[in-house]
């Protein structure tokens, strides 16, 4: 069955039971048999009850941290893996573990974008599940790749306002030209990835939700892509930044879905930069293992136990003890 919901929010349970057969049929029509079966197996295997957080308190108990009262419904893409890059932009790791979960309830629905379209909470869940569809079916989840680039910057320039501020700030920074060009290229690519992630999800939303009578407006669809040109003095370059319009212009909705599932084959890099060339090349060698949240936690705990028994950990602990003893002697 696609989609899968194993939470306990009463309003959502009721609507899910009402629409699940229609939704299941529609996902097969949109995705095709091969992708549908892959998604069905992954949904049933990894989306266990522990992946559905009905309240902020459930989230806190399982993952730590707090969620503000106005937190919208969201897909949680979780990993215990580092995506560290070397100085040339190559990803150091070869394997990564990920899990996914959902935070959704009646209150989170009120603050979600879906609440502006309908009063049915199922729309908010389907939007987050459609994020899961891409994350589960992509060989390298676009969302995590975008995050890896933003982590390299130490900032999150994923919307137009934050990107603009980042560009202006970078121009004034005391960095060499090569470093500035690299950071600007990373920022514009992360921005484009974020747009691809969000727009493609809404296109999938529309195809699924219209079958249960919920209209999803896509004001950007069919409009010519627009770019803003910004010329910097230091370094002296001109950036072409997408401002709006349809990045999937000319493609049918179903084709958009399949292209984004296979995004690595179709995405054009923004700007010519050796650092990003190395990043995308090394990305091909990074393998993702999709796990349920309990599996991920168990694997992480096992790794921590092994690490504590390792020689490197023991040396670190011995050094810490020596430093503490020296510190006490100073006092």
| 196-238 residue pLDDT tens | 999 999 999 999 999 999 999 999 999 999 999 988 888 888 8
State residue 303's pLDDT score. Answer: 78
Cβ density class 133-171: b for 16+ within 10 Å, e for less: bbbbbbebbbbbbbbbbbebbebbbbeeeebeebbeebe
- Where are the domains positioned within the chain? 10-291, 299-330
Task: Assess whether pLDDT exceeds 70 at residue 307.
Answer: no
Task: Assess whether pLDDT exceeds 50 at residue 185.
Answer: yes
Quote the CA–CA distance of 22 and 16 in Å, as a whole number: 10
State residue 42's pLDDT score. Answer: 97
| 17-43 residue pLDDT tens | 999 999 999 999 999 999 999 999 999
pTM: 0.89
Quote the CA–CA distance of 299 and 150 in Å, as a whole number: 26
The CB density around residue 120, as the number of other CB atoms within 10 Å, is: 21
State residue 312's pLDDT score. Answer: 61
Task: Assess whether pLDDT exceeds 80 at residue 315.
Answer: no
Of 79-83, 218-222, 274-278, 321-325, minimum mean pLDDT range: 321-325
State residue 319's pLDDT score. Answer: 52
State residue 310's pLDDT score. Answer: 60
State residue 331's pLDDT score. Answer: 45
| 186-195 residue pLDDT tens | 999 999 999 9
Our CA dihedral for 12, 15, 19, 23, rounded to 10 degrees, sits at -20
Quote the CA–CA distance of 15 and 84 in Å, as a whole number: 42
Quote the CA–CA distance of 262 and 285 in Å, as a whole number: 15
Pairing type for strands 52-53 and 74-79 reads unpaired
| Helices 177-209 and 274-283, axial angle in degrees (round to 10) | 50
State residue 292's pLDDT score. Answer: 97
| 73-104 residue pLDDT tens | 999 999 988 888 898 999 999 999 999 999 99
DSSP 8-state class, residue 289: E
Angle of CA points 294, 100, 85, to nearest 5°: 105
Residue 161 tokens, joined: 């306002």
pLDDT band for 256, please (50, 70, 90 cuts).
very high
State residue 322's pLDDT score. Answer: 43
């Amino acid at each position: 069955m696609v989609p899968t919901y194993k939470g306990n929010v009463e309003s959502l349970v009721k609507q899910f039971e009402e629409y699940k057969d229609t939704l299941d049929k529609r996902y097969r029509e949109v995705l095709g048999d091969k992708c549908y079966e892959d998604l069905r197996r992954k949904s049933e295997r990894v989306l266990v009850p522990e992946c559905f957080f009905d309240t902020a308190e459930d989230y806190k108990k399982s993952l730590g941290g707090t969620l503000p009262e106005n937190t919208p419904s969201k897909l949680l893409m979780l990993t215990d893996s580092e995506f560290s890059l070397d100085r040339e932009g190559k990803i150091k790791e070869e394997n990564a573990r990920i899990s996914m979960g959902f935070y959704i309830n009646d209150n989170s629905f009120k603050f979600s974008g879906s609440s502006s379209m309908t009063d049915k909470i199922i729309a908010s869940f389907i939007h987050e599940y459609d994020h899961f569809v891409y994350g589960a079916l992509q060989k390298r989840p676009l969302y995590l790749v975008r995050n890896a680039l933003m982590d390299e910057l130490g900032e999150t320039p994923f919307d137009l306002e934050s990107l603009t501020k980042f560009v202006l700030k970078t121009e004034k920074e005391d960095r060499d030209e090569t470093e500035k060009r690299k950071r600007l290229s990373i920022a514009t690519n992360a921005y484009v990835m974020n747009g691809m992630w969000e727009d493609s999800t809404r296109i999938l939303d529309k195809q699924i939700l219209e079958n249960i009578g919920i209209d999803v407006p896509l004001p950007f669809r069919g409009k010519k892509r627009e770019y803003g040109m910004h010329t910097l003095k230091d370094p002296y370059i001109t950036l072409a930044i997408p401002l709006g319009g349809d990045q999937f212009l000319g493609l049918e909705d179903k084709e958009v879905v399949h292209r984004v599932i296979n995004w690595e084959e179709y995405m054009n890099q923004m700007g010519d930069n050796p650092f990003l060339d190395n990043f995308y090349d090394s990305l091909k060698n990074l393998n993702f293992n999709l796990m349920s949240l309990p599996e991920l936690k168990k694997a992480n705990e096992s790794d921590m136990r092994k690490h504590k028994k390792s020689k490197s950990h023991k040396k670190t602990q011995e050094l810490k003890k020596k430093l503490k003893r020296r510190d006490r002697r100073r006092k």
